[in-house]
A = this chain, B = another copy of it.
Amino acid sequence: MNKEQIEDWFKTLQNNICEEIALADGKGNFEEDHWDRADGGGGITRILRNGNVLVKAGVNFSAVYGSTPENILKALALEKSDFYATGVSIVMHPINPMVPIIHMNTRYFEMSNGVYWFGGGIDLTPHYIHKEDACYFHQELKTVCDQHHKDYYHNYKEWADNYFFIKHRNETRGIGGIFFDRLSESKDISKNDIFQFVKDIGKSFAPIYTHLMQKNKDLPYGDKELYWQSIRRSRYVEFNLVYDKGTKFGLDTNGRTESILMSMPPMAQWEYNLQVEKDSQEEKTLLLLKKGINWVD
């Protein structure tokens, strides 16, 4: 398949996800902004605000091109070339602290010298970790992965643990998920196989998240839980601004700031040297924000 087909598929994915999420939310609708990138290409940003379940949900599609940034050429020891990148990026922030934050990204990158790759990932950031939901989430991802390769879930789950990690806090952003990058064909796997895998990950997003929305949206909460939600959101901000490569790539290549930073929460709080109560739900969550937890059998 060529890049136009991949781009078309990502556009369709954006449409389908927005439709399913708006339906599950029951109130919010996605506003749409079309934007152009000065150096080539552009995108469509869709944002749902102040829904029944979601306070802020962003679904970005973009297809951009131009001269490959120096840092990528340097990292790969390549000569000057042009790049083309297309993808879908999603972050959803719920109203109820019992509903987790979710993120997904699927992307395709190619250069005029013939180098190409797919990348992507999907990870869950519960404000309060419910083991049942964490197991469900990982099991769903494993099921998709297992349909493509027996090693995918194991490898990409480990990659997510390492990627979605807030080094200065010594904690993971949430319960992880899967993350993969620079996948291209090898003797075992064709370009089309990889695209099929990326498609299946993309298609899994809406059923997984609408299930978690539905299951948790009516759970009770009060000021204490809202406060904790705002603290966890500040960690989300720290990860995205300090470590996230997609954010950095976007800002470095003069992407559209409002689309890149749609991932930011509506409201976040920082409290100096916050201590959680012993045996509280907050402490139980913190104790599970680490790498290497096995959530599936």
Contacts and interface: CB of A to CB of B under 8 A. Distances in A.
A283 interface: no
A168 B272 contact: no
Contact of A241 (B237, B260, B272): B237
A269 to B, nearest CB: 5
Contact of A270 (B242, B265, B269): B265
Interface string A263-281: 0111111111100000000
Contacts of A273: 33, 47, 258
A230 B272 CA distance: 18
Interface string A148-159: 000000000000
A251 B238 CA distance: 12
Contact of A242 (B167, B251, B265): B251
A230 B267 contact: yes
B269 A269 contact: no
A56 interface: yes
Contacts of A264: 234, 270
Nearest to A240: B241
A238 B242 CA distance: 9
8 contacts: A47-B272, A168-B251, A168-B257, A230-B267, A241-B242, A242-B251, A258-B273, A266-B270
Interface of A: 33, 47, 49, 56, 58, 167-169, 230, 234, 237-238, 241-242, 251, 257-258, 260-262, 264-273
